[in-house]
């Protein structure tokens, strides 16, 4: 029997007297506006137990409730794509995403995505919002992700992400030698002129907090461990570039490869030839949606980042090293 979608939310004071469809989009961000409007019109989304029109105004303190059958993700087809699964049960699936794999279909990537692979592996995920995806990694970022396999898990994981109880640690290789770690607390939004980029914005950005610590210093580069409090698009890449330590292999935010003076041919080839941003999601901690118990998962650095760090160790000598290589 298919699980029903049953959700509730209270209209906060700041949304008082706003349109129902706009309020619903704010309170249930994991569902598209068109789907929410359809539920409003069908009477599956009620306000204090009553059916309203999408344009009707709602007041602070009102209770929104949804009780409906899930719909299959339209246009997303199962595809036989290999998955590196680290853990799986009836509620969650934890995997190691390779660099180059898009998370879900979008403009320019109609198929061949992680979602297409998940739907082939577990067809029941087609009944979940976004095919079970609750967070993303950039196409060229590798590493650990969790996906929901049940509606209970999806709702619980989304809540954990909103409450910032999900712990995510990344490994990044940055250009430049950092003197120490720190925190970047700068809002991020769409770049005002280059719409495919994100940027730190003094006005109009969403809160974004990144913690980083040095794990290995080289002559002209630094390996860092990064922990996220928030999950904005391109957050680590934008924040590290904002601190003037862009990631190796990231032309979007770092420009052309920075070649140290007197670099060997091997180091030049490694820096110019690294095909993506040097960023890997190494570890993930969360509370299991069913048991409530804390669980922790890790995945090793991919071969391309291991090779890059090996070259840096030989050709860009380590200085003041105070941690071991992951």
Q: Tell me if 283 sits within 8 A of 167, measured CB to CB.
A: yes
Cα 6 from Cα 4, distance rounded (Å)? 6
Instruction: Please name the residue that has the structure tokens 């002129």.
Output: 193
Cβ neighbours around 215 below 10 Å, total = 18
Helix 33-42 vs helix 20-27: crossing angle, to nearest 10: 120
Cα 231 from Cα 280, distance rounded (Å)? 15
Q: State the catalytic residue, choosing from 138, 156, 304, 316.
A: 138
User: CA angle at residue 184 from 255 to 190, to 5 degrees?
Assistant: 55
Residues ≥6 apart with Cβ < 8 Å to 262: none
Residues ≥6 apart with Cβ < 8 Å to 247: 172, 173, 174, 175, 236, 237, 240, 241, 253, 254, 277, 278, 279
**138 assigned to active site:** yes
Active site residues: 138
């Amino acid at each position: 029997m298919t699980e029903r979608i049953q959700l509730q939310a209270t209209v906060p004071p700041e949304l008082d007297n706003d349109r129902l469809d706009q309020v619903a989009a704010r309170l249930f961000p994991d569902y598209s506006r068109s789907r929410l409007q359809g539920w409003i019109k069908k009477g599956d989304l009620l306000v204090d137990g009553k059916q309203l029109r999408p344009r009707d105004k709602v007041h602070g303190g009102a209770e929104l409730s949804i009780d409906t059958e899930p719909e299959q993700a339209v246009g997303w087809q199962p595809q036989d794509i290999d998955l590196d699964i680290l853990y799986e049960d009836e509620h969650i699936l934890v995997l190691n995403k390779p660099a180059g794999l898009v998370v879900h279909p979008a403009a320019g990537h109609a198929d061949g995505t992680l979602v297409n692979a998940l739907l082939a592996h577990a067809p029941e995920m087609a009944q979940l919002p976004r095919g079970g995806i609750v967070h993303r990694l950039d196409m060229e970022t590798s590493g650990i992700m969790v996906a929901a396999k049940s509606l209970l898990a999806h709702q619980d994981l989304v809540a954990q992400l909103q409450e910032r109880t999900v712990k995510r640690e990344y490994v990044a290789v940055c250009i430049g030698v950092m003197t120490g770690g720190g925190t970047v607390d700068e809002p991020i939004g769409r770049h005002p002129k280059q719409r495919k980029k994100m940027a730190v914005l003094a006005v109009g950005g969403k809160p974004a907090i990144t913690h980083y610590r040095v794990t290995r210093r080289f002559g002209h580069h630094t390996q860092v461990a990064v922990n996220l409090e928030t999950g904005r698009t391109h957050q680590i890449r934008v924040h590290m570039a904002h601190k003037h330590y862009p990631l190796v292999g990231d032309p979007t935010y770092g420009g052309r490869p920075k070649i140290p003076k007197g670099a060997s041919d091997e180091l030049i080839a490694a820096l110019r030839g690294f095909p993506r941003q040097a960023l890997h999601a190494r570890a993930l901690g969360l509370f299991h949606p069913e048991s409530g118990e804390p669980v922790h998962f890790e995945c090793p650095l991919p071969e391309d980042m291991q090779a890059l760090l090996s070259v840096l160790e030989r050709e860009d000598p380590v200085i003041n090293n105070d941690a071991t290589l992951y």
